[in-house]
Chains A and B, each alone.
Chain A
Amino acid sequence: MSVMNRNWNILPSFYPEFDLERCDFENGCNLCAKECSFGEISLKPVKGKDGEVHLRPWANLAACNACRRCEKMCPERAIRITHKPGDTSHGYWTQAPVTNLWRQAGREGGVLLVGTGATGPQKRYFDYLMFDACQVTNPSIDPLREPMEIRRYLGRKPERYGGEVGPLLKLEVPIMFGAMSFGAVNLRVQEAEAIATRDVGTFWNTGEGGFHKKLRQYGGNTIVQVASGRFGVSEDYMKSAAAVEIKIGQGAKPGIGGHLPGEKVSGEVSETRMIPLGTDALSPAPHHDIYSIEDLRQLIYAIKEAVEYRVPVSVKIAAVHNVAPIVSGIARAGADIIVIDGFRGGSGATPLQIRQNTGIPIELAISAADERLRQEGIRNTVSLVASGGIQCSSDVLKAMCLGADAVYVGTPVLIALGCGACQRCFTGKCPYGITTNRPGLAERIDAEEAAAALRNLLHAWGEEIKELMGSMGISAIEALRGNRDRLRGVGLNEVELEILGVKHAGA
């Protein structure tokens, strides 16, 4: 045997444990093995209590990463996903770096790919920000008794009445669904997003995978993306939507392009993206016509001309060190909406090193950008959308207090549809049918059912936002935008407080 054994066992940290007392294998149940699309669960013949040979589920200890599909689906609740970190004895060379090295040197020999957003230990600032509430001097407002308004309008607004307004996007909840392309996600997921946003009165985003003809009926609630690959982009494409978004960057992979492997480019994906069947869809890292801000201005106005100035043009960037001046430049280049995607933002496929090490937290980025636009007196000319790592309704409201006009959520949409954040979206094997169009898996999503889940999500967050507003004595959400006085920091240092523009608790 050679020294460099390419067949070392590198055991996963997670695997299913089967409670055979509960398991119904003796009656022929093998649902878990069918549900597992990663090949972790196989069936092994064993002799049962009845003396007969039956097939029992068996963990291969090869491919589990805790998607929890089997656990969720088992009718007997006989499965637990167990976490056994195969740790080293070393305090510095711990499991993660060692396993990654083994994988690169041994089997994969390349760039380590992952799906979803960054997992690192960086501070989640949302957790260190606390809301204010009314006590005595000021009555809190009960959203069950009093009107509570959470509508937002996004786009360019003049400094004073009489100036030119809009075009504006009307959001009945300050939450939109972030860009996830057809090809990266199942068409049924996009359909669910479209139905839910139409029903609730907000927007979803096609990502850069084109706009499937079946979904064009939802154009009034759709934001289409123009990214570096220009997939599916045509005049008709841009005119069919409520807004056009130029994607410069993404929080999960700032500064790099995208790659949809040829295996995911099916007939429909090929038609929608306008690329040949089975070819890799490569989005270059930069736009090949944007090498500086003046080029972005030309693209913004080229799009505005194409859509006859009827819909707003948005520009999405990843939150990077210099985000504030970049945002100022984009505002002056003519964007109506600017999306800032923090380093926690999700992705179907991103190099591990980029995901974990590039970009900055959305809380700091949105604060810096909002403050900069105000210092320059141009805050009203553009709306700011925060995204990247928003987990719950209070995150939404905190982002707004720091300066966002609204937020995008992506990962929460997928989690609402079952996603267990197993980080393998790029494999095309998603057991929930979310990030795959593969027959047999894609059908696991039902568009109507998924739409109901997303409506629930938007409604629930909307109700929670109203409760939070009421407790602060706010009846219209615009009174909270940029209202940092309603936040206090707990356990943040002076630099952090200054950037966030909030006082420490007790002050």
Chain B
Amino acid sequence: MCGIVGIVNGDRRRIDGSHIREAIRIQRDRGNGLGGGFAVYGAYPDHKDLYAFHILYEGDRRSDAIPRVEDHLRSRVNVHHAEEIPVYPNDRIPKGPYFKRYFLSPIGQFVAADQTEEDYIVDLVMEVNRMGGAFVVSSGKDLAVFKGVGYPEDVADYFGIERYQGYLWTAHNRFPTNTPGWWGGAHPFTILDKTVVHNGEITSYGTNRRWLEMFGYYCMLQTDTEVISYIYDKLTRRDNLSMEDACFVMAPSLWEEIDRQDDRKKRTLRQVYESAIVNGPFGIVLTFDGGAIVLNDRNKLRPVVCARAGNTWYASSEECSIRYLSPEVDEIWSPRGGEPVIFKVEEQVREVPACPS
């Protein structure tokens, strides 16, 4: 069990972190104090064209991983700015690992002919994660992720998230069940501009992880959710699938239904991406620069409620968080299992049936 909340402002109007802090706080029973986290888009308007790396260093500012990682970064990318991420220790979270953020851009001539700038950044994230003692907790442009061990409101206070503003926020309240509660294992999980908050347990993890490894994605954060962000990145960015098709791959229709519709595209997607199917109970909010996707497992074994109030879109494990944020809503509904709901900023909300053909 876990709790998730997502807020997307359709006009890219930015709000501060105090709203989502309270919205996730009231789902307190869905977590146990072993993990909380937030993602905010639009966080770094002064550096919005640079990749913002948040790096977690185990230990404190004397960690020997810091010079190793920084030497490596400088050898691979232009580091335009680096600073400590300010933290505000309190009674509930007196201490945490050491966090720094770096604003980066790739060095043009280092990007190989057969890879994109983003491939290069993904490789860099994997390299840092495998160096030991350091983990990249966010790597997108104009995106910040804050996460740690504690209840989400305590994590919010630790990082002072009310000081950040964004047009898209997600929050997670963790009740870890399969892997230890540690700072890197809290949600959201991210790669480039994609983040995932997840309620559930992925029984296909072994299949997904081993498939991703073939393409240079290495799961180092000991938590099953990590695979969702990588699968989505592989499908949409590398393989150029639409969001709808990517969701279909992760939560496909039954073969029986595909047969009945005699839908060649769906059949082929399911055949080709057999190892990217996500099994087990899940409710996720997957975000990207410009919107969010809400997806449930095919059997709808986890709750997710969606709503719209004016041009603001909400998703939550429980309706209470939505009603807290907006007592009056224009629509509110519970999406069906396996059918993605896609919010796109500056477009109308659409409930999209899986993979239109």
Contact = CB atoms under 8 A, between A and B. Distances in A.
A472 B203 contact: yes
A158 B203 contact: no
A475 B255 CA distance: 12
Contacts of A158: 272
Interface string B195-206: 000001101111
B23 to A, nearest CB: 24
Contact of A149 (B209, B255, B281): B255
Contact of B272 (A139, A160, A475): A160
Interface string B255-288: 1100000000000110111110111110000000
Nearest to A150: B255
B308 interface: no
A474 B272 CA distance: 19
Nearest to A148: B254
Interface in B286-331: 298-299, 301
A475 B239 contact: no
B114 interface: no
A406 to B, nearest CB: 12
B4 to A, nearest CB: 16
Contacts of A141: 299
A158 B271 CA distance: 9
Given A137-B201, A473-B201, A481-B275, A161 B207 contact: no
A161 B281 contact: no
A129 to B, nearest CB: 13
Interface in B1-30: 1
Contacts of B272: 157-158, 160-161, 163, 165, 380
A138 B281 contact: yes
A473 B278 CA distance: 11
A157 to B, nearest CB: 5
| Interface footprint category on B | 35 or more
Nearest to A478: B274
A153 interface: yes
A401 B205 CA distance: 12
A475 B201 CA distance: 14
Nearest to B200: A138
B176 to A, nearest CB: 9
B268 A482 contact: no
B210 A165 contact: no
A139 B303 CA distance: 13
B153 interface: no
B227 to A, nearest CB: 11
A132 B327 CA distance: 44
Interface string B212-248: 0111000000000000000000000011010001000
B63 interface: no
A53 interface: no
Nearest to A160: B239
Contacts of B211: 379, 482
Interface string A151-168: 101000111111101101
Given A161-B245, A374-B214, A480 B207 contact: yes
A485 B205 contact: yes
A463 to B, nearest CB: 17
Contacts of B255: 149, 151
A398 to B, nearest CB: 13
A485 to B, nearest CB: 3
A379 to B, nearest CB: 6
B178 interface: yes
Contacts of A259: none
Contact of B277 (A136, A162, A479): A479
A147 B279 CA distance: 13
Given A165-B271, A476-B279, A146 B203 contact: no
B299 A475 contact: yes
A211 to B, nearest CB: 28
A161 B355 CA distance: 14
A262 B225 CA distance: 62
Given A158-B272, A474-B203, A374 B210 contact: yes
B203 A138 contact: yes
A377 B210 CA distance: 10
B177 interface: yes
B277 A147 contact: no
Interface in A415-450: none
Contact of A138 (B201, B239, B254, B269): B201
Contacts of A147: 254, 256
Given A157-B272, A165-B271, A473-B280, A149 B204 contact: no
A475 B256 CA distance: 13
Given A138-B281, A475-B279, A478-B275, A483 B256 contact: no
Interface string A163-178: 1011010000000000
A69 interface: no
A340 B210 CA distance: 21
A484 interface: yes
A332 interface: no
Most buried by B among A151, A160, A162, A486: A160
Contacts of A479: 203-204, 207, 277-279
A71 B319 CA distance: 68
Interface string B157-196: 0000000000000000000011000000000000000000
Interface string B114-139: 00000000000000000000000000
Contacts of A480: 204, 207
Contact of B268 (A149, A161, A478, A485): A161
Chain A CB within 10 Å — which of B213, B272, B301 has the most?
B272
Contacts of A401: 206
A472 B207 CA distance: 14
Given A161-B273, A377-B214, A479-B277, A474 B245 contact: no
Contacts of A379: 211, 214
Contact of A168 (B209, B254, B271): B271
A65 B12 CA distance: 82
A401 B255 CA distance: 21
A474 B204 contact: yes
Interface of A: 134, 136-139, 141, 146-147, 149, 151, 153, 157-163, 165-166, 168, 374, 377, 379-380, 401, 472-476, 478-486
4 smallest beta-carbon distances between A and B, as pairs: A485-B206, A479-B204, A137-B177, A483-B206
Interface of B: 1, 177-178, 200-201, 203-207, 209-211, 213-215, 238-239, 241, 245, 252, 254-256, 268-269, 271-275, 277-281, 298-299, 301
20 contacts: A137-B201, A138-B201, A138-B203, A138-B281, A147-B254, A158-B272, A161-B268, A165-B268, A165-B271, A374-B210, A377-B214, A377-B215, A379-B214, A401-B206, A473-B280, A478-B207, A479-B278, A479-B279, A481-B275, A483-B205
Given A377-B214, A476-B252, A479-B203, 7 more contacts: A138-B201, A139-B281, A141-B299, A161-B245, A162-B239, A475-B298, A482-B211
